[in-house]
Amino acid sequence: MRLQGCLTTSPATPVHQAFESHAEARPERPALVCGEVSYTYGELNERANRLAHFLLARGVGPGSVVGLCLDRSAELVVTLLAALKVGAGYAPLDPSYPAERLQLMTEQLAHADLIAVSPATTSLVEHCADKRVDIAALDLDGFPATAPEVDVDVDAVCYVVFTSGSTGAPKATAVRHRGWYNLLEWLTGEFGLDADSSNLMISSFGFDISQRSLMAPLFSGATLHLLPSRSFDVLMASRIIREQKIRTLHCAPSALYLLLQRDEESGGEILDSLQHVFVGGEPFTVSRMENWAKNYSSSGKIVNVYGVAECTDVSSFHVLTDYPDYAVRGVPIGRPVNNTDLYILDEELRSVATGETGEICVAGAGIGAGYLNAPALNAERFVTARLDDGRDVALYRTGDMGYVRDDGELMCVGRVDAQVKIRGMRIDLGEVENAVRSCRGVQDAVALVAGGEPGGEEAHLVAFVLPEPGAEGRPAELDSRALRSELLAAHPRHLVPKAFVAVPAFPLSPNGKVDRRALARRAG
């Protein structure tokens, strides 16, 4: 099964050149706001140009990688743009991550020429002392304010982000300007994003969503607002959205739920200015946003976006409209973005029919440059397949399973590696979660496997449950016996968790997703 995105003929250019065009045409427009600091397009461009000349003097240029261990700040954006201007890629080293994980990440960036830090973050990358540069301490007045003359190829790497697989170890994957330009051009064209489409970046800098959130407003000539906090602060984010009349958000569903809860607690109106909310990174729980979304959809759009970091973040999209249908059939991940094809293939990379489940594979402009220092993994995931019509197509195997409905909408049903074995039975955790979510009194659920260690308790399913609010908004009691009985009446016994744990909220990772590892520690 093949789904085809619209083909466009406009040539790709290095992404930062769109920002430079806005800076030349309207230098007085506000470009960046972070706390008390604000820059116009002209000011931001000049600062980035001066830093770019400094980078060139340090030997940073085409093919280089610049590590960015910086909090959300003006320096973060200036350094990011400067790296792009000299033809280098940048790699987010999010200071909200533990130092141990940052060390694992920097070990994969052994060829990085420079790591940008601030006084607040320099101690997090002590093992890279010879490469650290305190950006805020630099005196750049002697460097030119004009753009450096560097020919940046559209197939050059623009950024490197880290993603985790089943092992939990970070893997560095690189994205090209060609793919990033394609994504941003589609985003601005499809949804009419323009100079008024102000955006607040709330996700962790290390998340692939954040690269889109950072650059989309600068690509369209709008104002980028940064949350001046290392971690996601829902009170601060809500205040900025309301006071600055933010028009656009890119976030994970878990972060949106917190904003909606805050909006409800304050009597509404916090999110009224939003025109576009792009949500992705994990499955929706429709019940947690349906009431707000039905009212909001009359004036704005909520877009479910699907993709992987290895393929420039977004490969398909679906604008939410039919909430009764979602409650029954789930939320589609929709149709491909421009210049992108999606294939649903079996284990032998043969096409499956409409309605049949297979692995979602991505082809087209968004395919990235691959994993760094991982030839075996590249050979496994970035493949060339001979399809049924005899064509050889370069694909990325996402590891996500899905099927195409009769109406042409793509549904994602879980991960190939989300299946676990318990007492010889193969179980998909996503199926378990959906079963628990369908029960009375359940707002959301996350399923995990506990036990299974030699000499310990037998492996079993544990469901962490967020109950629906009780009377007057107080937390409701979780009746595990009734929940188990309801599940057994409709589902096979092997899909029914052995234990149910009520939680007031799910812990979030720095990326704004549910932190399953934190829950796993509670499960024992």
293 sits in the region (left: phi over 0; alpha: psi -120 to 50; else beta) called: alpha
User: What does the CA dihedral 217, 80, 14, 311 come to, rounded to 10 degrees?
Assistant: -80
How distant, in Å, are the alpha carbons of 425, 436, 441, 450, 515 from that of 463?
18, 8, 14, 10, 14
Average pLDDT value for residue range 142-162: 97
How distant, in Å, are the alpha carbons of 187, 213, 293, 443 from that of 511?
21, 13, 23, 22
Taking the domain 2-329, which CATH number applies? 3.40.50.12780
Question: Which of 41-55, 130-144, 170-184, 455-469 shows the lowest per-residue confidence on average (mean pLDDT)?
Answer: 455-469
Q: Where in the chain is the domain with CATH 3.40.50.12780?
A: 2-329
Higher pLDDT, 222 or 296: 222
Average pLDDT value for residue range 472-494: 81
Is residue 168 predicted with pLDDT exceeding 60? no
Beta carbons within 8 Å of 334's beta carbon, 6+ residues apart? 304, 306, 316, 317, 318, 319, 409, 410
Higher pLDDT, 230 or 138: 138
Are 466 and 506 contacting, i.e. CB atoms less than 8 angstroms apart? yes
**DSSP 3-state assignment of 461?**
strand
| Cβ-based burial of 380 (10 A; exposed 0-12, middle 13-18, buried ≥19) | exposed
What does the pLDDT look like over 306-365, one tens digit per residue? 999 999 999 999 999 988 888 888 899 999 999 999 999 999 999 999 999 999 999 999
Identify any residues that bridge with 248 across adjacent strands, giving them in sequence order. 199, 276
Q: Give CA–CA dist 335/405, Å, rounded.
A: 11
Q: Give CA–CA dist 282/29, Å, rounded.
A: 35
Q: Give CA–CA dist 276/243, Å, rounded.
A: 17
Q: Where in the chain is the domain with CATH 3.30.300.30?
A: 423-523
Q: What is the amino acid identity at position 203?
A: S
pLDDT value of residue 510: 66
Reported as a pLDDT band with limits 50, 70 and 90, residue 166 is: very low
pLDDT value of residue 293: 82
Q: Give CA–CA dist 336/323, Å, rounded.
A: 21
Is residue 453 predicted with pLDDT exceeding 80? no
Q: Give CA–CA dist 44/30, Å, rounded.
A: 9
Q: Give CA–CA dist 460/455, Å, rounded.
A: 14
Structural tokens at position 190: 């499809």
Q: Give CA–CA dist 394/361, Å, rounded.
A: 10
φ, ψ dihedrals at 104, nearest 5°: -60, -35
Average pLDDT value for residue range 61-87: 97
Q: What is the amino acid identity at position 64?
A: S
Tokens 């149910």 map to which residue? 500
The average confidence (pLDDT) of the chain is 90
What does the pLDDT look like over 97-151, one tens digit per residue? 878 888 889 988 877 899 999 999 999 998 888 899 999 999 999 999 999 999 9
Is residue 297 predicted with pLDDT exceeding 70? no
Q: Give CA–CA dist 117/123, Å, rounded.
A: 9
Fold of 423-523: GMP Synthetase; Chain A, domain 3 (3.30.300)
